[in-house]
Amino acid sequence: MAAVQGPVPVGTASRNGIASEEPKVVVAENGKTVDVQDKEVSMEGLCSISAYDQWMPLSVSGQLPRPRYKHGAVVVQQKMYVFGGNHNGRYLGDIQVLDFKSLSWSKLEAKSQSGPSESAEAVSFAACAGHSLIPWGNKILCLAGHTREPTESLSVKEFDPQTCTWSTLRTYGSSPSSRGGQSVTLVGDTLVVFGGEGHGGSLLNDLHILDLETMTWDEFATTGTPPSPRSEHAAACFAEQYLLIFGGGSHSTCFSDLHVLDTQTMEWSRPEHQGVTPEPRAGHAGVTIGEYWFITGGGNSRKGVSDTLVLNMSTYEWSVVTGLEARAPPTSEGSSLVMHTINGENFLVSFGGYSGRYSNQVYALKASLKSRVLFQQINEAGTNGIAPISPISEAANSSRKVIFEIEELQDKPGNKADTSKITAQVVKGERNQIEDKLNQEQLQNLRLKQELANVERRNTELTEELHLVRDQLSAEQERASKLENEVSEIQERLQKMDVLEKEFKLLRGEIDSGSDTAAASTDQPSRGGGFWRWNG
């Protein structure tokens, strides 16, 4: 099964073990079948893509990254950062960067910062595959993944693109066990880790949450029926509250089920979906645009999945965006998928993967679907009689409307003076009311800003107190550990003393018995007869 077992390269192998003849990739463009390897793709950038909902290969410059799958990719400041992956069973630890402005590849020489007092040096840091990359501000977080020398617990690493430096972040609480093929989803200011494959191939369905403000791990108890243990699944967040899990694989099968976790009630549910029925798959990739969740790639025990799906997360309706012939890179297992917005247009960018061969190609799709969340909120507000815009905006619009009406009345000929005066007075009264509302709303905004500042200040103080308490707790734990060691040593000494006391009692008993025997031998001859007399 493609999603569970490691891929086996095909083609004529060269001396270094890498296939020298690789199958040609066939894609569908505008209903016509073309051979990508025989076609020169001339593109100046993502903006040159005119067709919607069609995967197009990008013409890139620079040294191409090594083909790979099960890598990680994120977008930070107009650039796609690719880290790690697997090629022919070898873990990779390089960082490749694709600049979306110039569509050029470059390789970063990363450094490792072990501690604040230690100097950074150039390294190939933490080569791994099946890990998760998360953009956090202008930095990149890396969690979990399979490595050549696995660790007991899951570590959190941070890469700073500005300094090209890796560092390991200090976390609190009980860290999850190390794993690969898990999902890591950003929900608000937390990271939610679900499932994956642990040591010895054990499949997991545990849930761990890392608070990025305090860097504290928590394992929450959930209700409902959670997804079965799995790895190589996809996860997404909707409305900053709901965690969605789709597909994945076990050692014997692949899944096509959809599970939803309400992170406020911590309850799992399995909603009924509408539209098309997705095929089982594992090793697929996903990215969200508003309430739409795009899924591409992956495979099962029968074949690779060629359809690019989209799920409306507000209605749970599946639909097919487009399809490609088998073995095209966006249909690969273990490819990466990111979203980048240019001039209001949303582009999906796929890189790498395995579909009979390892890929290092870049494909892009311009999505036609736009988020309808904002428009739905406006329509619902208007239907319920609630202003769909802020009170200040409403007052400003009303004021402009009144001014326009005044000017319109003044411009109309034949209006009587009295009517004009009455109308002007009414309009003036309405204008005064609107100005009063504006003043009230401005005061309310000031109060809310002040309250927000107070809350943020209090939060900062509590965070500092929390770190202080944690440091004190750590010191007390160290002290308790030393006391336990001392108690253990004292107990060992007491046990030795007990043994010595028993030996002493035995020796004393032997001495006493010897004294009695000697006394008896001295008395016997005087009593006339006995053993000693016959021997004498």
* Ranges 35-49, 96-110, 193-207, 319-333: which has the least confidence: 35-49
Q: For residues 273 and 285, is the Cβ–Cβ distance under 8 A? A: no
Same domain membership, residue 139 and residue 256:
yes
Of residues 327 and 428, more confidence is placed in: 428
pLDDT score of 514: 65
Q: Which residues contact 281 (CB under 8 A, 6 or more apart)?
A: 3, 247, 254, 256, 297, 298, 299, 300, 305
Q: What is the spatial distance between Cα 117 and Cα 121, in angstroms, rounded to a whole number?
A: 13
**Does residue 272 sit within a domain?**
yes
65 vs 58: CA distance, rounded Å: 14
Q: In this structure, are 454 and 311 located in the same domain?
A: no
**Digit-coded pLDDT (tens) for 74-98:** 999 999 999 999 999 999 999 999 9
3-state secondary structure 397-430: HHHHHHHHHHHHHHHCCCCCHHHHHHHHHHHHHH
Q: Write down the pLDDT at residue 44.
A: 62
Same domain, 133 and 280: yes
Residue 184: what pLDDT? 98
Instruction: Tell me which residue has tokens 């054990």.
Output: 202
Residues in the chain, total: 536
d(CA 254, CA 190): 28
Query: What integer pLDDT is reported at residue 406 of this predicted model?
Result: 45
Asked if residue 326 belongs to a domain, the reply is yes
Is 467 within the bounds of a domain? Answer: yes
**Position with higher pLDDT, 272 vs 394:** 272
Task: Give the pLDDT confidence score for residue 339 in this predicted structure.
Answer: 97
Q: For residues 349 and 74, give the distance between their C-alpha atoms in angstroms, rounded to a whole number.
A: 10
- Say whether both 90 and 176 belong to one domain: yes
Distance CA 93, CA 108 (A): 11
Q: What is the pLDDT of residue 274?
A: 95
Instruction: For residues 309 and 228, state if they share a domain.
Output: yes
pLDDT of residue 448: 84
Domain membership flag for residue 449: yes
Contact 56, 364 (CB under 8 A): yes
**Predicted confidence band of residue 164 (pLDDT cuts 50, 70, 90):** very high
For residue 242, list its beta bridge partners.
238, 262
- pLDDT greater than 80 at residue 397: no
Residue 245 is predicted with a pLDDT of: 98
Which residue is associated with the tokens 């890498």? 18
Which value, to the nearest 10 degrees, does the dihedral of the CA atoms of residues 141, 146, 152, 156 take?
0
pLDDT in tens, 466-512: 888 888 888 888 888 888 888 888 988 888 888 888 888 888 887 87
376 occurs within a structural domain: no
Rg (the chain; Cα; Å): 36
Q: What is the pLDDT of residue 250?
A: 95
The confidence score (pLDDT) of residue 488 equals 83
Last residue of a domain, one of 330, 350, 368: 368
**Model pLDDT, residue 495:** 85
Cα–Cα distance between 286 and 311 in angstroms, integer?
10
Residue 519 lies in a domain: no
Q: Which residues contact 24 (CB under 8 A, 6 or more apart)?
A: 35, 36, 37, 38
State the virtual CA torsion across 398, 401, 402, 405 in degrees, nearest 10.
-160
Q: Considering only residues 303 and 269, tell me which one the structure prediction assigns the higher pLDDT.
A: 269
Range from 172-186, 198-212, 488-502, 522-536 carrying the lowest mean pLDDT: 522-536
Mean pLDDT of the chain: 80
Which of 288-297, 444-453, 475-484 has the largest mean confidence?
288-297
How far is Cα of residue 269 from the mean position of the Cα atoms in its chain? 21
Residues 356 and 429 in one domain: no
* Token code pair at residue 193: 């880790």
Residue that the structure tokens 């390991």 belong to: 168
Which pLDDT value is given to residue 464? 81
Report CA-CA distances (Å) from 318 to 197, 216, 239, 246, 509. Answer: 28, 36, 18, 12, 90
Check residue 517 and give its pLDDT.
56
Q: Are 361 and 434 in the same domain?
A: no
Mean pLDDT calculated for residue range 171-200: 96
Question: In the chain, what percentage of residues exceed pLDDT 90?
Answer: 50
What integer is the mean pLDDT of 413-440?
A: 71
For the ranges 4-13, 135-144, 203-212, 326-335, the lowest mean pLDDT is seen at: 4-13
Residue listed under structure tokens 């976390």: 171
Best CA proximity match to 368, nearest among 29, 4, 21, 51: 51
Residue 16 located in a structural domain? no
- Global confidence as pTM: 0.63
Beta partners for residue 113, in sequence order:
167
pLDDT value of residue 333: 94
Can you read off the two tokens belonging to residue 327?
């073995």
Q: For residue 172, what pLDDT is reported?
A: 97
Whether 348 and 430 map to the same domain: the answer is: no
Residue 264 maps to which CATH number?
A: 2.120.10.80
The three-state secondary structure class of 103 is: coil
pLDDT given at position 167: 93
For the chain, the domain total comes to: 2
Q: In sequence order, which residues have a C-beta less than 8 Å from that of residue 522 and are 6 or more positions away?
A: none
In a shared domain, residues 363 and 437: no
> What confidence tier does 113 reach under pLDDT thresholds 50, 70, 90?
confident
Greater pLDDT, 247 or 500: 247
Residue 244 φ/ψ, nearest 5 degrees: -110, 135
- Is 302 in the same domain as 427? no
Task: Please give the residue that has the higher pLDDT: either 6 or 182.
Answer: 182
User: In this structure, which amino acid lies at residue 18?
Assistant: I
Strands 26-29 and 32-35: antiparallel
Q: Are residues 228 and 310 in the same domain?
A: yes
**343 within 8 A of 49, measured Cβ to Cβ:** no
Q: 168: domain range?
A: 54-113+123-368
Q: Is residue 158 part of a domain?
A: yes
Q: Is pLDDT of 36 > 50? A: no
**210-246 pLDDT, tens per residue?**
999 999 999 888 999 999 999 999 999 999 999 999 9
Tokens of 55: 């995967």
**Domain identity same for 342 and 477:** no
pLDDT value at residue 379? 43
According to the model, what pLDDT value does residue 303 have?
A: 82
